[in-house]
Amino acid sequence: MSVRVGRLPIDDQSNGWSALLPPRRANAEVRGELDFDWVVVGAGYAGVAAARQLARLRPNATIALVEAGLVGENASGRNSGFAIDLPHAAGTSEEWTEQGRSAIRVGRFALNELDCLVKEHSIDCGWEKRGRYHVAVTENVAKRSLAAYEASLKVWQEPYRWVDRSELREALGTAYYAAAIHTPGTYLVNPASLIRGLADSLPRQVKLFENSPVIEADIRGQTPSVRTPHGRIRANALILTVNAFSQSFGVYRTRQIPILLFASLTPALSDEQLGQLGRESTWGLTPAHSVVGSTLRLTRERRLMIRQGFEYSPSLGTTDARRAKAREINLALLRRRFPQLGPIELEHFWAGWLAVSHNHAPAFGRVGPNSFAASCCNGSGIVRHTAAGTFIADLALGRDHSLMTDFLSQGTANYIPPRPLRDIGVGMALSYGVWTGRGER
Ligand SMILES: Cc1cc2nc3c(=O)[nH]c(=O)nc-3n(C[C@H](O)[C@H](O)[C@H](O)COP(=O)(O)OP(=O)(O)OC[C@H]3O[C@@H](n4cnc5c(N)ncnc54)[C@H](O)[C@@H]3O)c2cc1C
């Protein structure tokens, strides 16, 4: 039975990362009645990885990859561009230590996959192993959260070093932070360029359709199908990789929470402004407090990027007033961190959606007799959803990947009560996060 797909992703053409690239030439739309062996819906990191893995393992199969808009214009191309090798969360229980090790093995597998693809296909996306500074604004959070993170890094035997306020000022040009832990394994990237490159280097048997929003889908029938405004694809099997938009397909509604994030890029800094920053020509920092804190970068295009704001977004929509407020906050926070640069401005501001689960586990598995879905990136989708896409293809082919046990070491996303109970619970949890993290803005 077909269901009408609810909220569709909208490209408001605000993505700052793709604005730095040449305009994209779109692939053809879905037109007419088409038959494929496989249809993959959503061409972000998960969908592209799933299509690639299907093609690797079934070189004679026909595979359709169907994207609502242009590749790179939704979350996969709108994120902050940190391809992170380590889990964010800290903990030292035996169970958490083991789950952390599993996550690291999965992360390294996916990072290696991305690294090989970037090199093999000469994807020009600024892919650079710079590591990341995990920062605390206040001494209190440095002592509590960063010290807890250090304890995890120690038991995982991962390299790291503490960086104090004066070294941060020297390296990055800001004295805003009390301290940081630097870990060396993170890659920084222009995410729009990376996902475009990954999609455009897929094997020939994968047919990528763009500007083809799926508006109706049969994922529960024996022969799955998807309808777009100008056509329909029937396939022997379907893989759904639309992350936050899974709920629009009636999938994982009680497993994941859609979250809205905001980000901005400044214009390119002048030589004089760059001279007022630190000695490092590119860098990235992530906040110890994930709800309130800001992610920041100095990019190879000499621009500062800030990502701040973490909002519950059950309708997968936002308003102009909310965007204007978030933009204002992005700008104020950037100026606060770099007062020496004078009244810097923003050239680009955008919003994007992702999905998180209550227990931080992926939403992953079979969702119909011949349909499968991977979702719930929990914020680190460049790496995690490159892995999730690969593994969901394996699952769909009935193949056991050697890292599947690691990937599912926390199980799958657990049950979350439906609205309005959920609205109350999530609202309270976020308000508490904002209150406890108020010094970290
Ligand atoms: C502002 C921001 C900053 C972030 N920073 C980072 C970071 O630094 N590092 C990191 O690892 N992660 C980051 N993330 C998260 C990361 O972007 C996601 O985890 C990742 O994009 C998930 O990949 P995906 O392929 O599962 O989903 P998506 O990237 O959301 O891709 C899903 C695709 O499905 C398409 N789609 C949806 N509905 C339909 C439909 N009806 N028909 C056809 N196609 C459809 C969408 O257009 C989209 O292209 C950030 C996210 C945001 C929004």
Provide the residue ranges of all domains of the chain, joining segments of one domain with +: 3-78+192-257+358-432
Closest to 80 measured CA to CA, from 180, 190, 187: 190
Residue 168 Cα to ligand 1 middle (Å): 31
b vs e for 116-127, b when ≥16 Cβ sit within 10 Å of the residue's Cβ? ebbeeeebebbb
Share of the chain above pLDDT 90, in %: 91
What is the model's pLDDT at position 89?
A: 75
pLDDT at residue 125 in the model = 98
- Higher-scoring residue by pLDDT: 93, 286: 286
> At 16, is the pLDDT very low, low, confident or very high (cuts 50, 70, 90)?
very high
pLDDT in the model for residue 134: 97
Residue 435: pLDDT band (50, 70, 90) is confident
What confidence tens digit (pLDDT) does each residue in 100-151 have?
A: 999 999 999 999 999 999 999 999 999 999 999 999 999 999 999 999 999 9
Q: What is d(CA 275, CA 272) in angstroms, rounded to the nearest whole number?
A: 5
SS3 (DSSP) at 64: strand
20-77: pLDDT as tens digits:
999 999 999 999 999 999 999 999 999 999 999 999 999 999 999 999 999 999 999 9
Range 362-371 average pLDDT: 98
Average pLDDT, the chain: 96
CB atoms within 10 A of CB 83: 28
> Quick one: pLDDT band at residue 90, thresholds 50, 70, 90?
confident
- In this predicted structure, the answer to whether residue 215 has a pLDDT above a threshold of 80 is yes
Would you say residue 184 has pLDDT above 80?
yes
In angstroms, the CA 179 to CA 138 distance is: 8
* 3-78+192-257+358-432: CATH number: 3.50.50.60
Test site for ligand 1: of 356, 382, 386, 391, most ligand atoms within 8 A of the Cβ: 382
Average pLDDT on 374-402 reads 96
Minimal-distance CA residue to ligand 1 atom 10: 380
Residues with CB under 6 A from ligand 1: 5, 8-9, 41-47, 66-69, 74-76, 78-82, 213-214, 241-243, 245, 261, 263, 307, 352, 354, 377, 379-383, 385
Is it the case that residue 92 has pLDDT exceeding 80? no
d(CA 67, CA 41): 6
Model-level pTM greater than 0.85?
yes
d(CA 315, CA 302): 36
